[in-house]
A and B are shown apart, each in its own frame.
Chain A
Amino acid sequence: MGADIAPGVPADLPPVVERHGQVVAAGDQRATLADFRPDRIGQLVASAALPDRMSGSEVLSIAPGDGGLMTAHIRYSGVDGERIVLRSRWIRLPQGWRVSDVRNVPDTPPVLAPVELGGPDEPYWAAAREGELRIQRCGGCGEWIWAPRPICPACHGFDLEWPVVAPEGRIFSWTRTWQPFAPEVRGHLPYVVVLVELPAAGGRRVLGVLRDADGADLRIGLPVRGEFDPPASPAAVPLLRWRIS
């Protein structure tokens, strides 16, 4: 024991959180689900990643958080020594305290199952493996082309170049995704996809996953700088990560 309970945490919450950690670690699914907000059980269950087999849990802290919710950090131990921390946010409903959202901390990007590469995008991925951002441009008329195409849509030239472009721009739009749309995103939710406008590529826009997005106050127009994460596995692709500069 030794959980860090901040001032302002209602006295009836810590025992609930403590017990929650225990039933989760024990693999007691019925008791675990009973702690979730009933309108989002499916989303919560598929959001967090835990060790396959657990030996115990430890409540690290509980503190008041945003929107009147209470924030708890619980560390789960796997039988193989793995340690995973989940942050849950708790709401008091008429029937008692319930988990309103949960995530793994720290935040990490989803690594999607390898997809079929090839076609006009191929030079982008090849450059990304070298840590470079390259964007397609027509060698004839200079038109920046994105998404990549087999022909310049402006002049119909087939002489297409791939100049290196500075990975700097501004957030054109963003979305923070909470729904587990694929099994691979479990343990990485919520994550933020940003669409970034690149002045160095004629204002063309590229996508990426924002770094340090947990709790970030996002606004369209914020300046960002990007770099590639190396592939998470030999079969995976490098991921363009943006950071608010």
Chain B
Amino acid sequence: MTTSGSLYGAAAVVGIGTTPYRKRGTAPASALRLTLEAVLAACADAGLDPRSLDGFVSYANDSNEGIAVGSALGVHEIRWSTMVWGGGGGGVAAAVNAAAAAVACGQAEHVVVYRGITEVDDGRGSYGRGHFPPLLHSHGLLTPAQICALRTQRLLEVDGVPRSALEALVRADYAHAQNNPAAVAYGRPLDPAVYADARWISEPLRLYDCSRENDAAAAVVVTSARRARELVERPAFILSGVQGATRGWSESAENETSYTSAGFHPELVRRLWDGAGVKAGEVDVVQVYENFSGPAVAALIDLGLCPPGPEAGRFMTVENLTAPHGRLPINTAGGNIAEGFVHGIGLVLEAVRQIRGTSVNQVPGADLSLLLGGPMAPLVSATLLGSQRTLAGR
């Protein structure tokens, strides 16, 4: 159901690259250097001369502007330089969508989407900067953890989502990380007793409910469908992409309308599915941004991938969420929580690997791979990636 003006199948991810995830504050190089390494790796993966990159996209006020990255690489020409405004990690899928929009309209041909963070360059808490005005800060609300804790508390206490749903998500992340040598939690399986007895961060969130920032960078290269087929065997086609915030959602000092929603409001969700002509139940694998466990569960509920309320506990089990045979495998590289956290950019790479068939936790025959960015952030976004087969099927 390709419609005029639709992104459907017009662009694809052809290259992915990442640096190692290091403990925050320990990177041996600047965020720009790490970003350049990741961009070069993504280009090498795509078989593309980095000088032919002509578009640069990031989100969450990455400290290195597109022109800095492009000029450092000596690219022939910069034709597209875009920052997604607002929403921290909620902009991650929106950045991919912006790159796809650029190539779909012929504004650029090879667009790189990147995000790099080091504590030395960006400080602590760079992921939440600018979202803590005096009304929050003065009252002791200093971090995204506490905002997500307030919303998760109501999700549990009023909506009736059981704690076990949060735990299942975290344990699935950790289980997947055990097969991923690049994950920070590789070789460190999570004992359920340790999860349950870990120190409180901000109730109801304990330590393992929270992602922990790393020093790293990652990048993906987006190009037109035509060019993608020339470059690689298995492009990950962008079938649909959405970003948004509904009325009353953003900048509301905790007056967000659907308070326990992750922010994927019904119109946005409908645009996502309609744009690709698929239904929630057809998705094979999901990379759901877990800044914290509660918001990730709320995101799956918003998308119709998990039932709301107490029923969420029945669906959210380690078995259901784990590849290869779970009903809905999530975060198959370990996610922000167990692979590493650089504002969710790692989730994009893993969403692409699932379409390529190269994940360390591959879902057999995965054709529809969903990326969900930044639940409970002031702006959220999503991208649905598909294989060549999903395009041929229509």
Tell me the A residues contacting B by CB distance below 8 Å: 39-40, 43, 109-110, 112, 115-117, 121, 124-125, 146-147, 153, 172-179, 181-182, 185, 190-191, 193, 195, 204-209, 219-220, 237, 239-240
- If A147-B253, A177-B202 touch, whether A207 touches B154 (CB-CB below 8 Å) is no
Chain B residues whose C-beta falls within 8 Å of the C-beta of A220 in the assembled complex: 153-154, 157-158
Q: Per DSSP, are chain A's interface residues mostly helix, strand or loop, or mixed?
A: mixed
Residue of A nearest to B251 (CB): A147
- In the bound complex, CA of A39 to CA of B140 (Å): 25
Chain B residues whose C-beta falls within 8 Å of the C-beta of A240 in the assembled complex: 139
Does the CB pair B199–A40 fall under 8 Å? yes
Residue B141 contacts which of A147, A176, A190, A207 (CB distance < 8 angstroms)? A207
Chain B residues whose C-beta falls within 8 Å of the C-beta of A125 in the assembled complex: 134
Residue A175 contacts which of B133, B137, B150, B199 (CB distance < 8 angstroms)? B150
Total contacting residues, chain B, CB less than 8 A? 35
Report the number of A-B residue pairs with Cβ-Cβ less than 8 Å.
109
Does the CB pair A146–B202 fall under 8 Å? no
B193 interface hit (Cβ, 8 Å): no
- In the bound complex, CA of A145 to CA of B223 (Å): 44
Does the CB pair A178–B150 fall under 8 Å? no
Does the CB pair B138–A175 fall under 8 Å? no
Does the CB pair B134–A115 fall under 8 Å? yes
Chain B residues whose C-beta falls within 8 Å of the C-beta of A39 in the assembled complex: 198-199
Does the CB pair A207–B199 fall under 8 Å? no
- If A172-B154, A195-B150, A220-B157 touch, whether A209 touches B254 (CB-CB below 8 Å) is no
In chain B, residues 108-139, which have Cβ atoms closer than 8 Å to a Cβ of chain A?
133-139
Chain A residues whose C-beta falls within 8 Å of the C-beta of B204 in the assembled complex: 175
Does the CB pair A176–B139 fall under 8 Å? no
Chain B residues whose C-beta falls within 8 Å of the C-beta of A121 in the assembled complex: 133-135
- If A195-B150, A195-B254 touch, whether A115 touches B140 (CB-CB below 8 Å) is no
27 contacts between A and B (CB under 8 A): A39-B199, A115-B133, A115-B134, A124-B135, A146-B253, A147-B135, A147-B251, A147-B252, A147-B253, A153-B248, A176-B200, A177-B146, A177-B201, A178-B200, A178-B201, A179-B145, A181-B145, A185-B142, A193-B139, A205-B254, A205-B255, A207-B136, A219-B157, A220-B153, A237-B134, A237-B138, A239-B139
Q: Return B211 CB to nearest CB of chain A, in Å.
A: 14
- In the bound complex, CA of A203 to CA of B202 (Å): 25
Residue of A nearest to B194 (CB): A39
Does the CB pair A181–B139 fall under 8 Å? no
Does the CB pair A191–B154 fall under 8 Å? no
B30 interface hit (Cβ, 8 Å): no
- In the bound complex, CA of A40 to CA of B157 (Å): 27
Chain A residues whose C-beta falls within 8 Å of the C-beta of B149 in the assembled complex: 175, 177
